């Protein structure tokens, strides 16, 4: 992209550092802040949205949450990998970058973080919310994913069942089955994707296992009791839900959120898994541009 301004920086936070990346020039339009998944996934894949900054004359701000990427990795202090820490970090970033008005997009765990922030902290200045392939209930998510596991070959189902029964998630047959499941419903990493998606990420495994669990469908970390469906009515800002037809965020999970957030809209991307903005980037950016412009 020609003349695209990119600023990278680090914010001091709790005695550690949080890396952030700002794309685009400052303008009258409220910036879009992106919350990545995981926990522990890093901002990398959001770089496919850089062109939105150019075509919409709007700053896009992404960052690596504590525990992954270019931010401090606190694997010696896993007790800090909690929703409270990550909300505080988001609040600190808003203050550090003087983000009085902003749009907020959270993907997967990032959407959970956005929901926690909106429902429990009632922040001001959020122009709109985009919940990308996320969830409002850990128990519903687990139930839906276990339903989809039943479509795997019988030996792969058995390997996953064994791993959960014995709490052993290191056996080769389980790892192969889980990889097959994630290639089907997250993103098929045997295919070629943009460099930022294929790029090796730093750390994040301890953050993920501490907060969520050993895999997507076994939430036994400190977020195991994440149940926000009944709180979603507290979200009063314009909300757009996006998901894919083959997503870990099944249509049932997405519809549950839409039914519970007053006036929310839902866009389902055909033939997409968990990261539809990577799989259908141009279509996603077009949707985002229209949505943000309508809700500035």
How far apart (Å, rounded) are the C-alpha atoms in residues 106 and 115?
Answer: 9
**Catalytic residue chosen out of the listed positions 36, 43, 103, 274:** 274
How far apart (Å, rounded) are the C-alpha atoms in residues 209 and 193?
Answer: 26
**Catalytic residue chosen out of the listed positions 136, 247, 264, 276:** 247
**Catalytic residue chosen out of the listed positions 72, 108, 133, 142:** 108
Spell out the residues 6+ positions from residue 143 whose beta carbon is closer than 8 angstroms to its own.
none
| Strands lying side by side in the sheet with 126-132 | 6-13, 16-23, 60-63, 32-35, 102-107, 126-132, 239-244, 265-269
Helix (H, G, I), strand (E, B) or coil at 71: coil
Beta bridge partners of 261: none
Q: Is 274 one of the catalytic residues?
A: yes
**Among 41, 24, 31, which Cα is nearest to 204's?**
41
* Residues assigned a catalytic role: 108, 247, 274
């Amino acid at each position: 992209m020609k003349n695209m301004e990119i600023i990278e920086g680090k914010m001091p936070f709790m005695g550690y550092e949080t890396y952030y990346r700002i794309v685009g020039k400052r303008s009258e339009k409220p910036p879009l802040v992106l919350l990545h998944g995981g926990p522990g996934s890093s901002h990398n894949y959001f770089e496919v949205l850089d062109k939105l900054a150019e075509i919409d004359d709007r700053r896009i701000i992404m960052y690596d949450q504590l525990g992954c990427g270019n931010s401090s990795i606190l694997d010696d202090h896993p007790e800090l990998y909690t929703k409270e820490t990550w909300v505080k970090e988001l609040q600190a970033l808003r203050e550090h970058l003087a983000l009085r008005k902003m749009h907020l997009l959270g993907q997967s765990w990032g959407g959970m973080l956005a929901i926690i922030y909106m429902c429990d902290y009632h922040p001001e200045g959020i122009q709109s919310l985009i919940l990308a392939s996320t969830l409002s209930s850990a128990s519903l998510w687990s139930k839906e994913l276990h339903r989809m596991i039943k479509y795997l070959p019988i030996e792969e189902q058995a390997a996953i069942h064994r791993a959960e029964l014995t709490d052993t998630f290191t056996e080769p047959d389980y790892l192969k089955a889980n990889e097959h499941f994630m290639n089907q419903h997250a993103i098929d990493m045997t295919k070629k994707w943009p460099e930022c998606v294929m790029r090796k990420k730093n750390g994040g495994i301890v953050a993920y296992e501490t907060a969520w669990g050993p895999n997507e469908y076994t939430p036994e970390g400190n977020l195991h009791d994440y149940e926000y469906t009944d709180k979603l009515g507290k979200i009063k800002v314009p909300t757009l839900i996006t998901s894919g037809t083959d997503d870990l965020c099944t249509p049932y999970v997405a519809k549950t959120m839409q039914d519970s957030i007053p006036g929310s809209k839902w866009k389902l991307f055909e033939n997409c898994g968990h990261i539809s903005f990577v799989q259908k980037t141009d279509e996603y950016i077009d949707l985002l541009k229209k949505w943000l412009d309508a809700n500035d």
